[in-house]
Amino acid sequence: MHILDNYLSPSTCVTLYTATVVILRRATIKIKNEVSKKKLPLLGVCSAFSFLIMMFNVPLPGGTTGHAIGGTIIAILIGPYAATVALTVVLTIQAFLFGDGGILALGANVFNMAIVIPFVGYYLFNKIKGDNHKRNYLAAFIAAYVAANISALVTAVELGLQPLLFKSASGLPTYFPYSLKITIPSMVIPHLLFAGALEGIITAGVYIFVKKTSPDIIYEGDNKDKEIRTSPLYGLLLSMILLSPLGLLASGSVWGEWSSEEINKLIGYIPNGIKNGFQHSALLPDYTISKLSEPISYVISAILGVIIVIIATKFINKGILIYKNRQQNGMDV
């Protein structure tokens, strides 16, 4: 679901960057009150979880692949605004360090994955959940399933509008070449049948895991300053790092995340906007390291990504703590 650079027109990128910045600004304000001191360490853990879960590609019908995102479970655990910030950190690091998603398209990717999924998933979960445990597990599944599909639909619309709005003098698409008639079924059907269910299963599974191992995260209680038990979550992250090479078993590109060469094979030419557009050379493209095997590169990339994500969220946590301390001391914030 990561849109690459030059797939969207500059005006589309600017529009989505603007919308994203406005929402992120509100998220950074709301997160200060949304996340308690007790839950602050979860910002890094949740970001690391999302980073890792996106490394596990699974095969989908049609020779393509997909992956879960984790936006709904993060929103359930720490709130939608905090989830938006956590996922934005992940998507930014993926784009700049690993070339996973474009730099110009980062605003679109943040909008599609870090905003749409957490808010849709969070509000749907709260609408469905009840006092019954099984109902809550089902609510987590449904919320994540629906959120993933809506995100896929939004992405499909952004891509499918490009050939309708932007064409060369010869009438050929300047950026992404497929129209809405192709992008919507190509993106939505695999999510309806497989990727959405995968997101739902992982969300419900992690919700059950957290409920059994660290229930204070879900049932925060009155003592919000008491530390929660995070060791099971770090154990989960370590397991995911060690198992990350399994994400290489799925062969084939993700639909809509093709290289220029692959586009040329698909449609017989490379649209001018893609051929002559912005190029970014990531330090570790596609989570690979020169002269190292793919599995070892993948594990090292997983470790590196987790470390960077946690360091980045530490700075955010520090800012939130300063705000809370000033608020507690009655200072003007």
Q: For the residues of 169-207, what is the DSSP string, one character each?
A: TTS-BSS----HHHHHHHHHHHIIIIIHHHHHHHHHHHH
Tokens of 146: 């629906």
C-alpha to C-alpha distance for 208 and 218, rounded to whole angstroms: 10
pLDDT in tens, 180-223: 999 999 999 999 999 999 999 999 999 999 999 988 887 765 55
Q: Which residues pair with 66 in a beta bridge?
A: 58
Q: Which residues pair with 65 in a beta bridge?
A: 59
Dist. CA 329–CA 132, nearest whole Å: 40
**Sign (positive/negative) of CA torsion 71, 72, 75, 81?**
positive
pLDDT digit string, tens, across residues 64-106: 788 899 999 999 999 999 999 999 999 999 999 999 999 999 9
Quote the pLDDT of residue 225: 58
Q: Are 89 and 309 in contact (CB under 8 A)?
A: yes
pLDDT at 227 over 80: no
Instruction: Quote the DSSP letter at residue 268.
Output: S
3-state secondary structure of 39: helix
Instruction: Please check the confidence at residue 63 and state whether its pLDDT lies above 80.
Output: no
Q: What is the CATH T-level fold of the domain 10-329, as seen in this structure? A: Arp2/3 complex 21 kDa subunit ARPC3 (1.10.1760)
Nearest-angstrom CA–CA distance, 48 and 65: 21
Per the CB < 8 A criterion, the answer to whether 329 and 114 are in contact is no
Question: pLDDT tens digits for 7-42?
Answer: 999 999 999 999 999 999 999 989 988 888 888 889
- The mean per-residue pLDDT over the stretch 40-52 comes to 94
Q: What is the pLDDT of residue 60?
A: 76
> Both ends of the chain: CA-CA distance in Å?
38
- Domain locations in the chain? 10-329
Copy the structure tokens of residue 16.
Answer: 């989505």
pLDDT tens by residue, 246-301: 988 876 678 888 989 999 999 999 999 999 999 898 999 989 998 899 999 999 99
Q: How does residue 226 score in pLDDT terms, banded at 50, 70 and 90?
A: low
